[in-house]
Amino acid sequence: MISFIGKILFKLESYKVRFINRYKLSLLGAHGINCHIEGGVNISSPNIYIGNNVFIPSGATFLSSNAKIKIGDNVMFGPNVMIATGNHRFDVIGVPMCDVKEKREQDDEDVVIDNDVWVGMNAIILKGVHIGEGCVIGAGAIISKSIPAFSIVTNSGGINVRPRFSPEQIEIHKSKIKQYERKFKENNRI
- Catalytic status, residue 36: no
CA distance 165 to 71: 22
CA distance 179 to 50: 21
Q: How far is CA 184 from CA 15, 53, 65, 117, 179, in A?
A: 26, 10, 33, 17, 9
Catalytic residue among 31, 36, 88, 130: 88
Please state the φ and ψ torsions of residue 61, each to the nearest 5 degrees: -130, 120
Indicate the Cα dihedral angle 105, 106, 110, 113, nearest 10°.
170
- Is the Cα torsion angle 96, 102, 105, 107 positive or negative in sign? positive
Q: How far is CA 136 from CA 32, 72, 75, 121, 148, in A?
A: 22, 14, 10, 11, 11
Angle at alpha carbon of residue 74, lines to 31 and 171, rounded to 5°: 135
Catalytic residues: 88
